[in-house]
Amino acid sequence: MTKFRPRRSVLYVPADKPRAIEKARTLAADAIILDLEDAVLPETKAETREALRVAVASLKGEREVIVRVNGLETDFATEDMLAAVGAGADAILVPKITGAADVRTAAAALADADSSARLWVMMETPKALLSVAEIAAAAEDSAVPLDCLVLGTNDIVLETRVAARRDRAPLVPWLSDVVLAARAFGLDVIDGVLNDFRDAARLEEECRQARDLGMDGKSVIHPSQIETANRIFTPGEAEIAEARAIVEAFARPENAGRGVIAVDGQMVERLHLGQAERLLGFAEAFARRGAA
C-alpha cells in the first residue's frame, strides 16, 4: 500500500533550543528538521547530541522527524549520525553532498548502525547539481534508502554567484533538473528556505513557483511560514473534484479494462487515473494532518 507522507512544510528547528522544540510540537508543519549543522555552535554539538533522544521523542507522531547532521567531510558527521539513529529519527539529512559516492557513504553509515532511517540529502553545491542524475539514481540500489532531495538555494546562489533575484529565474533550470532527476527515481523534492520570513508575498510566490515546478513542499524557518506552504501545496477543491470524477469513471463496470475514456468532455487515459489516485491519497493525508 502506498504511503502518503505530507511534506508541504518542512520546518528547521535548532536542535539545541529546547523552547523552540517545545513550540514545534504545537505547529502544523508536516515535518520537522532538527538541525545539528548550521544552527549549533561547535562547542555545544556534543551536549546537543546527548539531548537529541528527548527532542526526537517529543516530536514524533503524525509528522516526520528528520535530523540534519554535519557534512561528511567534518569531524562531527559520524557522532551526529550515531546520535540521530539512536534517537530514533525518521530520516537523516546530509548536507554538502557532491555526488553519488557521498550518498553511498551516508547509506553505509546507516547500515553499519543497523538503522531503518531514510536518507535525505541537500542539493546545495555546484557539484551536486552537475551530478544530480547520478545522485538520484543511487536510490535504485536497495542498500541506499534515499528518499528525498532538499534544495539549499541560499548556498547555490552563493557558490554559483548568480543574481539573487526575487523571481529566482537564474535558479529555475537547476531546480527543474533536480525535480526531473527525483521523479525519474521516485524521490521527493523540497524547495529551499526564504530567509526573510516577514515577506509573506515573496513566500507565496516561491511556494507557487515550487509547486508549478513539481516540488512536494517548502523548507521553512519560521512558524509564520507554515500556513502558506501548507495551503499552496494542498490540492484545491477543483483539483480534488476532478480527480474523484476520474477515479469514479474508471470504476464503472462499462469502463473495466478500457485504457482511454471520456470524463467531462475530455479524453482521459489510465495514466491520469494513477495521478488522480495519488492526488486523492495526499488530499486525505493532508486532511488528517489538519485534524490532528
Please report, for residues 49, 197, 209, 223, 242, the alpha-carbon distance to residue 204 in angstroms, rounded to integers and kept in the order given.
Answer: 35, 11, 9, 15, 24
9: Cβ–Cβ under 8 A, 6 or more apart, which residues? 28, 29, 30, 31, 217, 218, 220, 225, 226, 229, 230, 233
Angle at 54 between CA 122 and CA 33, to 5 degrees: 20
CA distance 183 to 188: 7
Which cell goes with 90? Answer: 525518521
155 is in an annotated binding site: yes
CA distance 265 to 155: 47
Angle at 96 between CA 95 and CA 101, to 5 degrees: 100
120: Cβ–Cβ under 8 A, 6 or more apart, which residues? 66, 91, 92, 93, 94, 146, 147, 148, 149, 150
Q: Is-contact 161 127, C-beta < 8 A?
A: no
Annotated binding site for Mg(2+): 124, 155
Annotated binding residues, as ranges?
68, 124, 155
Per the annotation, where are the binding residues for substrate? Answer: 68, 124
